[in-house]
Each structure stands twice: as structure tokens, then as C-alpha cells.
Structure 1
Amino acid sequence: MRKFELNEVYRLEDLIGLVKNRADRDYIYAIYNKLGVENLALGQDIFVGETPSYDDDDNEVLPKKVQDADYEFCYIRDHFQDVIDLAVSQDPKVSDEALVRCLNYYADYDDFLDVVP
């Protein structure tokens, strides 16, 4: 399995695997994609980078690499981890497809989707 690093592009399923294995826990990061948070899908490229900053007027400023690649904010680390951790705790063999459903559900409803083994 690939090592977790910041400022890298991952396939969504590869990032899910790293989070399931807790390889990301020493990092503070945000997740960005080109289609927005509601449209996560397996096979999609996801950029993992620094968290947004804020200017003097409290406007969100995305990292330069994110802006240059035309990515959009998708998830903050804590929420992404929480969705995956809860689903894995409910079903240790949860599929990546089910995890993507959980992530999209959380993005739509700000609530967790239960996974039944």
C-alpha cells in the first residue's frame, strides 16, 4: 500500500484504504476534488493537501496548488476520518462502495449513514 503524504493526488479508494489503516493520523489535511463533495465516486482523483486559510475579511483561501489544479474543497480530515471510522466499526469488512455511499450521505445530510453487516 502507498504511504500517506500531503500534497499528493490519490485515487479515492487508495485514500480510503490509508484512512482505514490509520496511516494518516499524524497529519492535518483537507481533501479536494474537481466535482465537489456530493459527487465522490470510486476511481476519482482526490488531492490531499493543506487546510484552507482565511484572509483579513474571513474569506476562505484555498492553497495555491489546489487553486492551480482547479480543485474544490471536499472534506476536512476529521469528518472524512469519522465517517470511515464509524462505518468500519459497524462492519470491519465494509466495502469501498459502501464507504463512498456513507461519505456522500454525510455530505448531503450532515449525518452518518449506518452500515449493517
Structure 2
Amino acid sequence: MKKIELRKVMSAVELLQAIIASEGVDEDYCIYVKGDADEISGDTRCALDVCPSIVSDVEQVSEFVRLNDLELFSYGPQFNDVLRNVLNQPGNCSVEDLIRALNYYQDNDDFLDF
């Protein structure tokens, strides 16, 4: 498994290509996005960082996430489930397919069949 660079803001396409090449993300990491966290596109600015922790019922994010004004998009386990689902579909998986599947999962809490 290739190592993905943490705390580096890049396009969704770049991040997802790196994640596909490394066969998923560590379950302790989350995907954060700049701007609206409800839906991503290929040029959405994203980063991989540690998941938020809860301290006294308050969500605590890293300084990197705060300084870059990032919003939580996906937890590692959920992202890996969507990735596995896309990779197990007939045909070749493209980054665009993964983006569609992630957005579908965000909206429906269900997997997209191709």
C-alpha cells in the first residue's frame, strides 16, 4: 500500500487517484473539503487528515483543518466502503465514477450501482 500524504490540500481528482493507488485510506483518517461538504467535484480542494475527536461533547479538529477552513466530507471507513463498492462494479473504475458514488452516498446513505 502506497502512503498518502496527510495535511496537503489538493484537488479531489489528485486525492482520489492517490487513494485508489493505495487501495483505500487508513480508518483513522477523514477526507476534508474546502467549501460545501455536501458534494464534491473534480476540482474541489480536499485534504486527508486525522478524524475529529469529541471532547466534552464538542468536535475537535486539527489545527491544519481549522487554518485551511476545511469541512469534514467523509470518515475513512465509509469512504473505504464506497471505494470497494465502486471497484467491485463491472468495468473499470474512474475517478469520476468514484466522485459520483461518493456524492450519491452522501445524499442517500446507500451505494450507487453502475
Query: TM-score under structure 2 normalisation?
Result: 0.85
**Does residue 113 of structure 1 match 2:112?**
yes
CA 1:44 to 1:78, structure 2 compared with 1: closer, same or farther past 3 Å? same
Deviates more, 1:86-95 or 1:59-68: 86-95
Structure 1 residue aligned with 2:58: 59
Residue 92 (structure 1) shift:
4.8
Letter in 2 for 1:38: D
Pair 1:16 & 2:19 matched: no
Taking the aligned partners of 1:26 and 1:75, their CA distance within structure 2 comes to 12
User: 1:24/1:8 Cα in 2 relative to 1: closer, same or farther (>3 Å)?
Assistant: farther
Q: CA RMSD in A?
A: 2.0
- Over 6 Å off, 4+ runs: none
Aligned residue in 2 for 1:40 = 40
Q: Gaps spanning 5+ residues in structure 2: where?
A: none
Aligned residues: 113
**Identical positions, percent:** 31
Q: Structure 1: where are the runs of 5+ without partners?
A: none
Report the structure, 1 or 2, having the larger strand content. 2
Instruction: Describe the shift of the 1:106–1:6 C-alpha distance in structure 2 as closer, same or farther (beyond 3 A).
Output: same
SS in 2 for 1:79: helix
Say which SS state the counterpart of residue 42 (structure 2) adopts.
Answer: coil
Distance 1:101 1:6 in 2: 23
The aligned amino acid for 1:37 is A
Whether the aligned pair in 2 keeps the contact of 1:34 and 1:71 (CA below 8 Å) is yes
| Residue equivalent to 1:69 | 68
